[in-house]
């Protein structure tokens, strides 16, 4: 069974299952604030960790993410443990969202939410992670900072992405949506904007 961290009302109309990024756990400051913000908007959030992160938490190593098949199986298990896909949206931060995007159509989930999608490794524009996004059928929201080194507006504009994908750009945001100190924008403001975008998307 998957170990979940829940926020929000158990009887919510929709549950968003979230996985973490490559380097941070399910209770990272970013995901804590994001989950609490959605819970305040009557969305149930269910966070879980991939096996390597669970090992890291238990002190048994796990510094390197599991291989893709292991990560995808963890997603399938989590979806099943949450009762199936009928009222379930899935997604996550960076790696977690990317892995969710690889099982979304297969599992027939209600929606997909990616918080900072890693379109390519930083500085490696030729190593795209977008092939499966061209034919994605699941209704998808990607919330991306305009300074994200994993994919900027100018770069993403050249990709062939499915019409099921909508992208919301957070001005000045990096991979965790944080803007520069002197930009006139704040990390809290970008986070609030991202939460509102996801809450509205899930309510549609």
Measured CA to CA, the distance from residue 51 to residue 62 in angstroms comes to 8
Per residue in 176-196, pLDDT (tens digit) is 999 998 888 999 999 999 999
Give the residue numbers spanning the domain of 122: 5-203
- pTM confidence score: 0.96
Q: State the pLDDT confidence band at 57, using cuts at 50, 70 and 90.
A: confident
Structure tokens that stand for 3 in this block: 């170990």
Place of tokens 């299952």: 17
Other residues' Cβ atoms within 10 Å of the Cβ of residue 68: 11
The pLDDT, as a whole number, for residue 62 is: 67
Q: How many structural domains does the chain have?
A: 1
Q: What is the pLDDT of residues 118-166, one digit of tens each?
A: 999 999 999 999 999 999 999 999 999 999 999 999 999 999 999 999 9
Q: In CATH, what number is assigned to the domain containing residue 10? A: 3.40.50.1820
Burial per residue of 13-41, b for 16 or more beta-carbon CB atoms within 10 angstroms, e otherwise: ebbbbbbbbeebbbebebbebbbebbbee
Mean pLDDT taken over the chain: 96
- The pLDDT assigned to 122 comes to 96
- Ramachandran assignment for 96, one of left (phi > 0), alpha (psi -120 to 50 degrees), beta (any other): alpha
């Amino acid at each position: 069974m998957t170990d979940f961290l829940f926020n929000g009302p158990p009887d919510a109309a929709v549950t968003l299952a979230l996985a973490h990024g490559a380097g941070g756990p399910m209770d990272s400051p970013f995901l804590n604030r994001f989950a609490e913000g959605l819970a305040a908007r009557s969305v149930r959030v269910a966070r879980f960790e991939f096996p390597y992160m669970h090992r890291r938490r238990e002190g048994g190593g796990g510094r390197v993410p599991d291989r893709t098949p292991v990560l995808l199986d963890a997603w399938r298990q989590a979806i099943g443990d949450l009762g199936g896909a009928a009222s379930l949206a899935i997604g996550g931060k960076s790696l977690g969202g990317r892995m969710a995007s690889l099982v979304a159509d297969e599992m027939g989930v209600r929606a997909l939410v990616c918080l900072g999608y890693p379109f390519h490794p930083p500085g490696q524009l030729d190593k795209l992670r977008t092939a499966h996004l061209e034919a994605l059928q699941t209704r998808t929201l990607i919330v991306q900072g305009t300074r994200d080194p994993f994919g900027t507006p100018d770069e993403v504009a050249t990709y062939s992405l499915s019409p099921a994908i909508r992208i919301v750009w957070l001005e000045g945001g990096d991979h965790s949506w944080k803007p520069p100190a002197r930009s006139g924008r704040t990390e809290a403001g970008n986070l609030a904007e991202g939460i509102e975008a996801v809450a509205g998307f899930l309510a549609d």
